[in-house]
Amino acid sequence: MSASSTTDVGGLVLSRPASKLRVWWPGVVASLAWAATAWVTAELEDLGDWERTGMLVWIFAVVAGGALLATLAYGVFGRLPQRVQRKGPWLVALALFFGVWELFAAKLGILPQPFFPPPQALLEVFTDDYAKLGISVLYSMKLYASGYVLGGLIGFATGVSVGWSRAVGYWVHPLLRFVGPLPATAWLPIAFFAFPTSGSASVFLVGLATFFPTTILTWSGVAAVPQAYYDVARTLGASRRFQIFKVAIPAAMPHVFVGLFMGLGSSFAVLVVAEMLGVKAGLGWYLQWAQGWAAYANMYSALLVMSLLCSGMITLLFSVRDRLLGWQKGLVKW
Amino acid sequence: MVSPALKPQPGARIDIHDVSHSFDLDGRALPVLDSVHISAEPGEFVALLGPSGCGKSTLLRLVAGLEPPTQGSVLQNGATITTPDPSRVVVFQDPTLFPWRTVWDNVALGLEAQGLIRSQRHRVDEALLLVGLTAFAKAFPHQLSGGMAQRVSLARALVNQPSLLILDEPLGKLDSLTRLSMQSEIVSLWQREGFTVLMVTHDVEEALFMANRIIVFSERPARVAAEIRIDRDYPRHRGDPYLAELRREALRLLGLDASW
């Protein structure tokens, strides 16, 4: 054992392990990298006139301090919560990303201004324009939630009826075949004059974009239920109602969630386009407005918010799915 | 196992009366059953033995009421069977458990479908006790072995206190050790509960070990070729020379005695 030292104490030979220094290297590197980023931000001259450079330095410094604290905690306790420890390498990568961005955009001018604003410009949008941005998020969410829930529910009901009943299938299948594949955005011009308000038109479009994949996947889910399940249910005395609600629908749920997931993406696209073209509020409108003023920092901020929203909604959908479909093996983790 | 309180209902009398049946195969009729005539006394254990694909399983579907026969009729205690009914439950070759339901909820299925679950929850616990799976009540089907899953499907049938248990090769997909132990288990359940059993199998030893009577079918379209009565008390012993003698006869009736 090379890591132990022997000491001769009054004839007794004590063997003890050398105090082994436990170092969380990702934490060490991350602390240094964030500190360096903060230093670059503070010490080098800004090329433009940005007001939040000071605040940005503080934020970088706080992150550096946090990384240092985590590193010290690791030294003391020998480990960190799994969730924190796993993110170590990412913490380093993010420091490098922000450092390079700051350097190239604000200090060296390698990224042309004003098209690629530095981090402090985005920070300024969040500190100064949060009210307008927040309202836009609320408007978008309101539109989106109404459209998505409506489209999802109607799609689910349609899918179950088409999958279950031959008669419904006979009439609805052709409609689905011809109307379904049309991109919902193609309806935009018609929807805007056919509906009383641009808001209700957007709800319709978002609903339509959700409806189609949800219907098709629910339908295929119901159609794929093995005949044996119904045989079992029938011999146990199940009514038709029981067979639909307790056999067909639960068996189809994994498919339904795939449909809802697909609907999530396509309907968000429709929402943004609708807001850019007609609705006078929401994130799509904010993007359009920012472009009109050549406010590039605002555009990037709005994009960032959008990506967080979309990701958040997928997280929400997946956690609902995980609760409902915990019986399935090998679910994808979001 | 402590005595479960599933009250035995008297077994049903089953009359399969001159039943012929055919499938519609691209517009052509494919006959699978030809004038089948079988009766089962209340509480009797009847095994249906025959070559694979001869139409035995179809006969069970007719008895269960899942399909109407093309010709003839199937009677339960003198009344024609037209629809499925929980007094006649089927255990299929595949356990066909619902993967989204726990073991307990799978067993509860029949009571739930009949609207009895609120008042009769204890029957589910008793059925699980009966098949020795109380500890697995909260498990999901994908966590069970094949033998355990088939026991759950047995419990799902027994919870309805059937007067006729229809077994469609229930042990066909199990490994041979599990198979032997479940044969004994089913026999003791049958003796305790008193229902009538119709069991399709193509395992001669299984039929001899479990049944009062064996009906031997011909090739498709299935006709009753012979009947073997087994006068032996339970529990039976697999090495019994009497059973060995009957085994030879059964194989001869199936045209397989050359290898014996």
The domains located in chain A, with CATH, are 25-115 (no CATH), 130-324 (1.10.3720.10)
Q: What pLDDT is attached to residue A160?
A: 94
Distance from CA of B93 to the nearest CA of A (A): 11
The answer to whether the CB atoms of B98 and A329 lie below 8 A apart is: no
> Which residue is it, tokens 């927040």?
A134
B114 interaction partners in chain A (CB closer than 8 Å): 236-237
Nearest to B96 among A229, A234, A239 (CB): A229
Using alpha carbons, list the distances in angstroms from residue A237 to A161, A240, B128, B152, B165: 22, 10, 20, 18, 14
Q: What pLDDT is attached to residue A2?
A: 42
- Between CA B21 and CA B34 the distance in angstroms is 7
A232 interaction partners in chain B (CB closer than 8 Å): 90, 92, 96, 109, 156
Nearest to A234 among B66, B98, B99 (CB): B66
Domain ranges of chain B: 14-95+164-259
The answer to whether the beta carbons of residues A101 and A40 sit under 8 Å apart is no
3-class state of residue B7 by DSSP: coil
3-class state of residue A128 by DSSP: helix
- pLDDT tens profile B141-169: 988 888 899 989 989 998 998 999 999 98
A245 interaction partners in chain B (CB closer than 8 Å): none
Helix (H) or strand (E) holding B197: strand B196-201
- Between CA A123 and CA A56 the distance in angstroms is 8
CATH T-level fold of B14-95+164-259:
Rossmann fold (3.40.50)
The answer to whether the CB atoms of A235 and B156 lie below 8 A apart is: no
Nearest to A237 among B92, B110, B142 (CB): B110
Q: What pLDDT is attached to residue A5?
A: 47
A231: nearest CA partner in chain B: B66
Mean predicted confidence (pLDDT) in B195-202: 91
The total number of residues written for chain B in this structure: 260
Q: Is B238 exposed, middle or buried (0-12, 13-18, 19+ CB in 10 A)?
A: exposed
Cα A237 from chain centroid (whole Å): 45
Cα B205 from chain centroid (whole Å): 16
Residues 6 or more apart whose Cβ sits within 8 Å of residue A65: A31
Q: What pLDDT is attached to residue A197?
A: 85
Q: What pLDDT is attached to residue A333?
A: 59
The answer to whether the beta carbons of residues A255 and A221 sit under 8 Å apart is yes
> Does residue B125 belong to the interface with chain A, where contact is any CB pair within 8 Å?
no
Q: What pLDDT is attached to residue A191?
A: 86
Distance from CA of A251 to the nearest CA of B (A): 7
> Which residue is it, tokens 């983790």?
A333
The answer to whether the beta carbons of residues A302 and A283 sit under 8 Å apart is yes
> Does residue B89 belong to the interface with chain A, where contact is any CB pair within 8 Å?
yes
> Does residue A331 belong to the interface with chain B, where contact is any CB pair within 8 Å?
no
> Does residue B170 belong to the interface with chain A, where contact is any CB pair within 8 Å?
no
Please, what is the average pLDDT of chain B?
86
> Does residue A132 belong to the interface with chain B, where contact is any CB pair within 8 Å?
no
Distance from CA of B223 to the nearest CA of A (A): 25
Distance from CA of A246 to the nearest CA of B (A): 9
> Which residue is it, tokens 């067993």?
B107
User: pLDDT under 70 in chain A at which residues?
Assistant: 1-20, 329-334
- Asked whether the CA dihedral A297, A302, A307, A311 is positive or negative, the reply is positive
Q: What pLDDT is attached to residue A20?
A: 65
Q: List Cβ<8 Å contacts ≥24 apart for A323-327.
A: A324/A253, A324/A257, A325/A253, A325/A254, A325/A257, A325/B100, A327/B99, A327/B100, A327/B101, A327/B140, A327/B141, A327/B142
Distance from CA of A165 to the nearest CA of B (A): 19
- Between CA B191 and CA B131 the distance in angstroms is 14
- Between CA B138 and CA B106 the distance in angstroms is 10
Q: What pLDDT is attached to residue B4?
A: 45
- Between CA B91 and CA B150 the distance in angstroms is 8
- Between CA B248 and CA B91 the distance in angstroms is 29
Q: What pLDDT is attached to residue A4?
A: 45
The answer to whether the CB atoms of B113 and A238 lie below 8 A apart is: yes
Q: Is A160 exposed, middle or buried (0-12, 13-18, 19+ CB in 10 A)?
A: buried
- Between CA B152 and CA B135 the distance in angstroms is 12
- Between CA B127 and CA B192 the distance in angstroms is 13
Q: How confident is the model at residue B8 (pLDDT cuts 50, 70, 90)?
A: very low
Nearest to B113 among A233, A251, A328 (CB): A233
- Between CA B260 and CA B256 the distance in angstroms is 8
> Does residue A227 belong to the interface with chain B, where contact is any CB pair within 8 Å?
no
Measured CA angle at B181 (ends B178, B184), to 5 deg: 145
Distance from CA of A319 to the nearest CA of B (A): 17
- pLDDT tens profile B121-141: 889 998 898 888 899 999 999
Give the number of A-B residue pairs with CB atoms closer than 8 Å: 68
The answer to whether the CB atoms of A251 and B100 lie below 8 A apart is: yes
A235 interaction partners in chain B (CB closer than 8 Å): 64-66, 84-86, 88-90
> Does residue B249 belong to the interface with chain A, where contact is any CB pair within 8 Å?
no
Distance from CA of A214 to the nearest CA of B (A): 20
> Does residue A242 belong to the interface with chain B, where contact is any CB pair within 8 Å?
yes
Q: What pLDDT is attached to residue A213?
A: 92
The answer to whether the CB atoms of B66 and A329 lie below 8 A apart is: no
Indicate the DSSP class of residue B170: T
- pLDDT tens profile B37-94: 898 899 999 999 888 777 888 889 999 999 898 888 898 988 888 889 988 999 998 8
The answer to whether the CB atoms of B88 and A250 lie below 8 A apart is: no
A250 interaction partners in chain B (CB closer than 8 Å): 98, 100-101
Number of other CB atoms surrounding residue A81 within 10 Å: 9
> Does residue B160 belong to the interface with chain A, where contact is any CB pair within 8 Å?
yes
Q: Is A42 exposed, middle or buried (0-12, 13-18, 19+ CB in 10 A)?
A: middle
Mean predicted confidence (pLDDT) in B206-212: 91
The answer to whether the CB atoms of B160 and A328 lie below 8 A apart is: no
Q: What pLDDT is attached to residue A109?
A: 84
> Does residue A228 belong to the interface with chain B, where contact is any CB pair within 8 Å?
yes
Question: What is the residue-wise DSSP string for B29-81?
Answer: EEEEEEEEEEEE-TT-EEEEE--TTSSHHHHHHHHHTSS--SEEEEEETTEE-
Closest CA to B101 of A326, A217, A330: A326
Tokens of B243: 């059973």
- pLDDT tens profile A166-206: 899 899 988 888 888 888 888 888 888 888 888 888 899 99
Residues 6 or more apart whose Cβ sits within 8 Å of residue A227: none
Indicate the DSSP class of residue B134: G
- E strands, chain A, are 4-9, 12-17
- Between CA A196 and CA B38 the distance in angstroms is 72
Q: What pLDDT is attached to residue A94?
A: 93
- Between CA A190 and CA A192 the distance in angstroms is 5
Identify the bridge partners of residue B76 per DSSP, sorted by sequence position.
B14, B79
Tokens of A104: 């190239």
The answer to whether the beta carbons of residues A253 and A322 sit under 8 Å apart is no
